[in-house]
Structure 1
Amino acid sequence: MEAETTTDTDQTRLWDRAGGWSGVLTAVALLALTRLGQVLMIWWLNAATAEPRPVWERLLVWDAGWFLRVAMDGYPDTYTYDANGVLQGNELAFFPVYPMLIRGGAALGIPPSTAAIAVAWIASVGAAVGLHLLGTSLYNKRAGWALVAICCSAPVSVVMSMAYSESIYLALVAGMLVAAHRKVWWAAGLLGLLTALSRPTGAAAAVALAVAAFLAVRESRREMWKPITAAAVALAGVPLYLGWVALRIGEPTAWFKIQTAGWGTSFDYGSSTLSFLNTTLRTGDGWIPMSVALILLVALAAAGVALFQRPWLPLAVYGVVAMVLVYGQAGFYHSKPRLLLPVLLTLLPAVVAAARARPRVAVLSILAWAAFGLWYGAYLITVWPFTL
């Protein structure tokens, strides 16, 4: 099943093709089922831990604290050092869109932690709608629903329930891709800029929009300024934030130094990933490292199958660039499945297969996938002691 192309006559029919309000509400209901299942899994596993904590606290761990500090205290003016003068990571590593939304919620009188969860959950609704429209625009209505169900129940989709930026990023990148596929360039440019200001991998989304703009200009030079402007706006996002950090600190590579100091994140062309896979698959004895290694390998295979199926070129480019950024950087190995969640390209073979299969087969297959994925994510934030 190849991705469909957009024509002038079908641009206005996307809402109808997606099933109208009924279709969109079905997508939101699928999201709600995954989030309810996720919370129940967290509650179930949490009760068996040595030190049970409220489910709410489980959703506010690790990166959530960094986002809350940015939202309430703002960004620091300089580097952060420990008592021995060693450079540490600080809040400047975190892109601004999600913290700004948290601050907006807090300005309305909502407690910051509540605002952080509320923004993530509301954004997840936007992500479900965006994913359904994207799957419908590229393929058909069933593919749209399958994309929502498969993405929102994937391993480590638990971050969509947490005070993390994945929900807002997924909503923005899906919306940008829909707008670009439908040639609504003003929306694509705006969403592309916000995507790029949400996470570093927003650079991959901006490149995808540039490819979509190139294809549109090659197809027709009429009003070519619209796609070109949209691409330029999106491409400016990541450099704008990195440049702002550089000016604030007074050093061009400031953001990269902060990332490396705090999280060991640096682009090493995949050396660390290859080393992790080699060590884990040959001598690893922990099931979490082994599962992460298998997820990385399966994701690569799935991306290869997806590319063989010839998806819409901008989505393919987005997925490939995003995967290069994930696999090519050093950092916590157990964070890589989370970083792969918004890639989407890796999910396309399953989405296409579910859209083609008999409804009963598709439902049972996705339920099996969801049972594992939701349990896996819940395990990582209750039993597994390390950050995602």
Structure 2
Amino acid sequence: MTASDQIRPLCAPRAPAPPGPPGLRRAGPALAVYAAVRVTGLAVLALWSSLAGNDAHRLLSRRWDSLWYARVAEQGYGWEVVLPDGAVHSNLAFFPLLPWLERLGSWLTPLAAPDVGLVVSAVASLAAAWGVFAVAERLYGGAAGVTAVALWAVLPVGIVQSMAYSESLFTALAAWALYALLRERWVAAGLLASLAGLTRPVGMAVTAAVLVGVALTARRERRLTPAMAAGALLSPLGAGAYVVWAGLRAGDPLLGYLRVQEGWGNGFDGGLAFARFIGSLLAGPGFWGGLGLTAGLALLAWLCVRCVRQRQPVVLLVYAGTVVALAVCASGYFGSKPRLLLPAFPLLLPLAVALARWSAARRGLLLAGAGLLSAGYAGLWLNGSGPP
């Protein structure tokens, strides 16, 4: 019987699963691998930045979106920038959980908000790696779990996991929400989904997974338990509350938040703008960049198909599919798309299962090489255009 044959379509494996959440004894190797990749990436970034005359600490904590999060933490919402073309960038576009944690950390410690953001990301990234391991181990075993964490760590944009950004915090909440769904812990899944919804707009992917999981289980069992109902009701509360509140601040409780995003050039057009962008590259001097993006999209589509053919639980397919759809089909900030795909870790599970069949030495050599390449890319990326 193959690993894919052991997976129930909805949530849990048919074969006996490891008892309870993985503690340090089981998750320790995965966390050690993850920490080694992150330390290597930070060391290469520090060296690269020094040679380039930049400050690695500033690149990680005081540039791009990290400045917006810190301003929310320090001064609250209501600040905006009007660009020369008349577009309005409002800090209402940034969801509040990370700024809340930065404000709390600044109140409890002498650290400034951006530095608290670094601490939050460091802790959350370890929690995310633990959650990725928990999901993969429950479905495919310990070797696949460690490999999945390593693959998530060595992604080319993995340095974002160590920045004062919200990707690590969101991925931690999403991974543990999915693990709760696999164990049919509906209330825990709903609470984690609600917190994920307070972290990033893509929190709706976690909510969708909870709602689909509850609906399919209720249909299968022909009953809706109080725990299922509570999980379903809790899951959209975080995002829903913030979107309505931000809409009220923007002048319209229903459409206000969408208008805030429009000011940033963000929207959902089914990928038409992204397709036109790639087409313009292929037709001009950026041909090789366009070809690279086309190859990346083909790889992404292949991974999605592999997840389906692997018979991953429906809740994972719904979550990863929603993350991919929101990232690829958004109309703005094309350079952000790799970063926006970072939380879609279920896409890595087919590769993790395949690599787990290799010998430990062969697998370790491949992942070590990928980690070094990722570290080099991080130094080049953050000392260049960086993650918009």
Provide TM-score, normalisation by structure 1: 0.90
Is the contact made by 1:153 and 1:373 (CA closer than 8 Å) also made in structure 2? yes
Q: Which residue of 1 aligns with 2:260?
A: 258
In 2, are the aligned partners of 1:179 and 1:185 still within 8 Å (CA)?
Answer: yes
- The SS at the match of 2:199 is coil
- Matching residue's letter, 2:337: K
- What amino acid sits opposite 2:341 in the alignment? L
Change (3 A) 1:363 1:14: farther
How far, CA to CA, are the matches of 2:369 and 2:276 in structure 1? 31
Query: How far apart, CA to CA, are the structure 1 residues paired with 2:83 and 2:347?
Result: 44
Render the CA deviation track for 1:26-63: whole Å, top value 9, x for unaligned. Answer: 222112111111112212322342xx122111102100
The SS at the match of 2:78 is coil
Counterpart mapping for 1:313-352 below 5 A: 313-352=314-353
Aligned partners of 1:106, 1:276: CA distance in 2, in Å?
A: 41
Residue number in structure 1 paired with 2:193: 192
Contact kept in structure 2, 1:4 and 1:138, CA below 8 Å: yes
**One-letter amino acid of the structure 1 residue matched with residue 24 of structure 2:** W
CA distance, structure 2, for counterparts of residue 340 and residue 221 of structure 1: 36
Mean Cα displacement is larger for which, 324-333 or 84-93? 84-93
| Aligned-partner Cα distance in 1 for 2:19–2:103 | 37
- What does 1:266-285 correspond to in 2, within 5 Å? 266-285=267-286
Of stretches 296-305 and 140-149 in structure 1, the one that deviates more from structure 2 is: 296-305
- Counterpart in 2 of 1:227? 228
- 191-200 vs 4-13, greater mean Cα deviation: 4-13
1:1-388 matched pairs, under 5 angstroms: 1-2=3-4, 4-5=7-8, 6=12, 10=16, 13-15=19-21, 18=22, 20-49=23-52, 52-60=53-61, 61-76=63-78, 80=80, 82=82, 86-109=86-109, 110-221=111-222, 224-251=225-252, 252-262=254-264, 264-285=265-286, 291-382=292-383, 384-385=384-385, 387-388=387-388
Is the deviation greater in 241-250 or in 357-366? 357-366
Whether the 8 Å contact between 2:269 and 2:331 is mirrored in structure 1 is yes
Indicate how the Cα distance of structure 1 residues 183 and 273 shifts in structure 2: closer, same or farther if over 3 A, else same: same
Q: Within 1, Cα distance between the matches of 2:168 and 2:136?
A: 17
Q: Distance in 1 between matches of 2:133 and 2:371?
A: 17
Q: Distance in 2 between matches of 1:84 and 1:369?
A: 42
Aligned residues: 379
Cα offset for 1:380? 1.2
Farther off after superposition, 348-357 or 220-229: 220-229
**1-structure distance, mates of 2:70, 2:251:** 25
Measure the CA separation in 1 of the matches of 2:34 and 2:139.
20
Distance change (3 Å), C-alpha of 1:107 and 1:221: farther
SS at match of 2:95: coil
Contact 2:41 2:374 in 1 (8 A): no
**Letter matched to residue 25 of structure 1:** G
Q: Which letter does structure 2 place at the counterpart of 1:65?
A: L
Moved more, 38-47 or 304-313: 38-47
What stretches of structure 2 of length at least 5 have no aligned partner? none
Distance 1:57 1:355, change over 3 A: same
Offset at residue 141 of structure 1 (A): 0.9
Secondary structure (helix, strand or coil) at the match of 2:363 reads helix
Distance in 1 (CA, whole Å) between partners of 2:283 and 2:230 is: 50
What is the identity, as a one-letter code, of the residue corresponding to 1:166? Answer: E
Q: Structure 1 regions of 5+ residues with no counterpart?
A: none
Let me know the Cα RMSD of the aligned residues: 2.3
SS of 1:13 mapped into structure 2: coil
User: CA contact under 8 A between 1:58 and 1:381: conserved in structure 2?
Assistant: yes
Secondary structure at the aligned position of 1:89 is classed as strand
Does the Cα contact within 8 Å between 1:120 and 1:165 map onto a contact in 2? yes
Partners of 1:54 and 1:286 in 2: how far apart? Answer: 33
User: In the alignment, is the contact (CA less than 8 A) between 2:170 and 2:196 conserved in 1?
Assistant: yes
Task: Give the direction of change, closer, same or farther, for the CA distance of 1:228–1:8 in structure 2 (3 Å limit).
Answer: farther
Identity between Structure 1 and Structure 2 (%): 29
Query: Does the 8 Å contact 1:41/1:375 carry over to 2?
Result: yes
For 1:103, give the aligned amino acid: R
Work out the CA distance in 2 between the residues paired with 1:30 and 1:181.
Answer: 25
Contact 2:7–2:14, Cα closer than 8 Å, also in 1: no
The 3-state SS of whatever aligns with 1:342 is coil
* AA of the residue aligned to 1:200: P
Distance 2:285 2:26 in 1: 45
Name the stretch that deviates more: 325-334 or 348-357: 348-357
For residues 280 and 315 of structure 2, the distance between their equivalents in structure 1, rounded to whole angstroms, comes to: 35
